[in-house]
Structure 1
Amino acid sequence: MLWLVCVLGLIACGKDAVPPPGAAEPMTLGSQNETPKVAPAPPSEAEILRGTYWPPAKLDGGVARISCEYDYPSFGEGERLTSLDFFSLVDALSPCQARGVVRLRYQGKIGAGFTALVQRVAAMATRMEIQTRILDIDSSGGHVEEAIRAGDSIAESGWAIWVRDGSVCHSACVLVLAAGDTRSVEGKVGIHRLMRDRSTATSRAELSRELRSINQQVRDYLERNGVATSVSDLMMTVANRDLRILTADELKLFGLDGTNAAQDDLDRIRLTRKCGDDFVRRREAFRRAFDAQCMATGKNFESMPECAKALQGEYGFPDKTCPSDSPADLYARDLPDLLPFEEEAVSNEAKAAGDGGKGAEKGAAKKSASRQVE
């Protein structure tokens, strides 16, 4: 009998002791009710750039210029940006504050410096309430991961993107193009396989796994930016050393030229919450009529504000409930500023044949500017 008592005692010693009712809980080092301390998440880049101390960043692999004008044939490419620090951006963008337009001309590779560039120009433009931001890009590509990072920043900060005549947007640059609120393409847009920057693949199977991972990232990215995911599949069919130039029809079909469908839907949702369904339906009908009647072939730019005013009554604008969002007022107010070529509009066609092609360049600039207000 004694051996049974000893065995039961040993078993009891192996279990956690249960304190009797009302007994104080055993003391431990540190309070058992204390919430574990979790290290705070590091601040995002956007949060950092709200202050005046910006961490060092360098523009590598490209040249950036800042202009406050749409009309690059008349006003040039802008002043070269040599530093990405806070006060350099203050100096560079201050002249654009009154006009409310900044055009960032970038020529070079997509890398960490480019990501920092678009983030910092957007942050300074927000401080200065410069609402119209244009990325005038000429790039043969670069790092896929940085293109996605830069694109996500662009998508959150209201950029229009131009690939103007004579410029290119190849490879990873296409991901940047996808992020714009509007995209205006006159140059060449080309695609091929997007590969990891530092691939460690030693076999086709390993390379396939890497490419599958990249392809999924790219598909997710394109989808959230209103671009057909079939672009990613098409990329996979073109070897990295080759290039496939997309046609104008393909750019439209894939959602890489014109208004960003995802942003357009988001804007419509926000406007519906603010002004109501009826307002949004009338506004969209007005825009269709404006495109058909005021931007038809043969119409000159000076007539657009008057054409917009003539249409407003038909669609119930200006609207008293949301006057600042009435499209007729927006078109009438903004078009003269967005199209700074009125005095030359009549004579450009006559000059185009004898001015070394500058007339054609101005026509392209006008076309890009007109897309900004669509």
Structure 2
Amino acid sequence: MSLLFAGCATSITEPGAVPKIERFAYRGGGLVLRQADGECRIVAAGEISPAMVSSLTLVMREVEKQRACSKKWLELNITDGLLGQAITAGSMLRNRGYSTRLQPGSVCHTPCLLVFAAGVQRVIPSDSLLVRLGFSQIPPDEDFGGRHCETELNNNQQLTLARYLRAMLAASTADRMFRMINEANCQEVHELPVRDALTMGLATGG
């Protein structure tokens, strides 16, 4: 069993009008659900994996039970992960009206960027020095990627990725991201300056 969240959710009640906090652990990372003043915020740290998607599903169900969240956010502190799982997680977020935000100090590469792209609003910390964005080669999994240095997707994989990006972003932004992802290789991460993420429409605000 790769999932560890069963029985691992804990609630923290802090003095005064401090948010309710619940923690959900999974192998390779964890999620924290913070609820206060009509806002529900999930903080994700670790790898994007099947265990992460299962845990995220569990947390989202908890949010839906509350029926008191006028704003819903996913904060990301994730570098690596599987592309297929990133697309699944991103689709779940958009279908439920979540916005996304990068945590200060985070490093967000291709899988993380795909989840980030799913937010209704997509926010990067105002101090651009606090985050690093970049396009990395797609890691191989059963759905995407291969063991070559260059990213090589077959026709069906390219179609899935293109449709996902087009569903999340404006056409010009989606097409630019698609090209950048396909151009990535194993030799280096192609840095994306925060100002470029804002200009191209990947981020909606800082």
The counterpart of 1:102, out of the listed 40, 48, 59, is 40
Runs of 5+ unmatched residues, structure 1: 1-55, 69-74, 84-91, 260-366, 368-374
Does the Cα contact within 8 Å between 2:136 and 2:184 map onto a contact in 1? yes
The counterpart of 1:133, out of the listed 72, 82, 85, is 72
Does the Cα contact within 8 Å between 2:138 and 2:145 map onto a contact in 1? no
Closer, same or farther: CA 134–235 of 1 in aligned 2, 3 Å: same
Closer, same or farther: CA 185–203 of 1 in aligned 2, 3 Å: closer
The counterpart of 1:117, out of the listed 55, 71, 77, is 55
Q: Match of 1:182?
A: 121
Does the Cα contact within 8 Å between 1:66 and 1:103 map onto a contact in 2? no
Following superposition, the deviation at residue 57 of structure 1 comes to 8.1
Give the AA of the match of 1:126.
Answer: E
What secondary structure, in the 3-state scheme, does the structure 1 residue paired with 2:174 have?
coil
TM-score by length of 2: 0.73
Q: Match of 2:138?
A: 194
Structural mapping, 1:12-51, within 5 Å: none
CA distance in 2, matches of 1:160, 1:122: 13
What secondary structure, in the 3-state scheme, does the structure 1 residue paired with 2:99 have?
strand
Closer, same or farther: CA 57–66 of 1 in aligned 2, 3 Å: farther
Following superposition, the deviation at residue 232 of structure 1 comes to 1.3
CA distance in 2, matches of 1:112, 1:234: 25
Task: Name the structure with the higher strand share.
Answer: 2
CA distance in 2, matches of 1:218, 1:111: 17
Does the Cα contact within 8 Å between 2:134 and 2:189 map onto a contact in 1? yes
> Which segment is superposed worse, 117-126 or 138-147?
117-126
Q: Match of 2:174?
A: 228
Following superposition, the deviation at residue 246 of structure 1 comes to 0.9
Q: Match of 1:284?
A: none
Does the Cα contact within 8 Å between 1:191 and 1:245 map onto a contact in 2? yes
Give the AA of the match of 1:127.
Answer: K
The counterpart of 1:239, out of the listed 155, 161, 185, is 185
The counterpart of 2:157, out of the listed 177, 189, 214, is 214
Following superposition, the deviation at residue 203 of structure 1 comes to 8.1
Q: Match of 1:249?
A: 195
- Identity fraction in percent: 21
What secondary structure, in the 3-state scheme, does the structure 1 residue paired with 2:3 have?
coil
Runs of 5+ unmatched residues, structure 2: 27-31, 126-130
Closer, same or farther: CA 113–203 of 1 in aligned 2, 3 Å: closer
CA distance in 2, matches of 1:194, 1:200: 5
Q: Match of 1:58?
A: 3
Supply the RMSD in Å over aligned alpha carbons: 3.6
What secondary structure, in the 3-state scheme, does the structure 1 residue paired with 2:91 have?
helix
* Greater relative contact order (CA < 8 Å, ≥ 6 in sequence): 2
Does the Cα contact within 8 Å between 2:135 and 2:191 map onto a contact in 1? yes
Does the Cα contact within 8 Å between 1:133 and 1:160 map onto a contact in 2? yes
The counterpart of 1:143, out of the listed 75, 82, 88, is 82
Following superposition, the deviation at residue 155 of structure 1 comes to 0.4
What secondary structure, in the 3-state scheme, does the structure 2 residue paired with 1:81 have?
strand
Following superposition, the deviation at residue 81 of structure 1 comes to 2.2
Following superposition, the deviation at residue 99 of structure 1 comes to 2.5
CA distance in 2, matches of 1:151, 1:197: 17
Closer, same or farther: CA 233–124 of 1 in aligned 2, 3 Å: same
